[in-house]
Amino acid sequence: MLRSSLPRCTAQGVFPKAVRMIAKLFVASSNPGKLAEFLALANPAAPQPESLHLELLPNFSSLPVFDETAPTFAENAAGKALHYSQFAEGRILADDSGLVVPALGGAPGVRSARYAGENATSEERNAKLLHEMRNLTGDQRRAHFVCVLAVAQKNRAVAIISARADGEILSAPRGSAGFGYDPIFYVPELKKAFAELTPEEKNSRSHRGKAFRRLLSAQIL
């Protein structure tokens, strides 16, 4: 970690208050939305280092693409972090996540984003899943989201952390917030779908929120 008097993260990656130590972490993505999501998860209430500087990996779109075709979330996340760690001096954060329905043999699983085809919309993926589950009832509708976060530096794995969020699949979409499978993923304890939660509620419950907080509390950054 580098000794610094810089402030913590803004929208470009700095938290409000001056601190002495800053750990830099590059997110293996070119998507500002993904960076914003991690910044929202790295809130002052979460266990974290004295400071954490998050930013997108520079020139990500021009780098050789990592093919996420492994059969598990952990292999995809670790492989992605290791691959992109060859192109940066600092540590790389990569993730793989998806929805698992045990009654469907684990589908959509690692193919969650491609479940209805490479260019399918979230609505099309949800519709396919609801169709596949049309005859399932009770415990057969149980599901969980999985997130695996991997950190690597110079082609060496530093950490691999996973978390899950448990729920069940509704028979029809509900809510207008969130993205992906959120409208059909129901949390019985809250009596709400993920798409009906506020951002704060979802961050406290989500698989990605849990995994990121575990990463921060692991004190490896």
- List beta partners, residue 97: 147
146 CA to centre of own chain: 8
Enumerate the active-site residues.
Answer: 96
Torsion of CA 150, 153, 157, 163, to 10 degrees: -20
Q: Are the CB atoms for 52 and 221 separated by under 8 Å? A: yes
User: Is residue 136 packed enough to be buried (19+ CB in 10 Å), middle (13-18) or exposed (0-12)?
Assistant: middle
Q: Is the peptide bond before 32 cis (omega within 30 degrees of 0)?
A: no
- List beta partners, residue 61: none
Pairing of the two strands 91-100 and 142-153: antiparallel
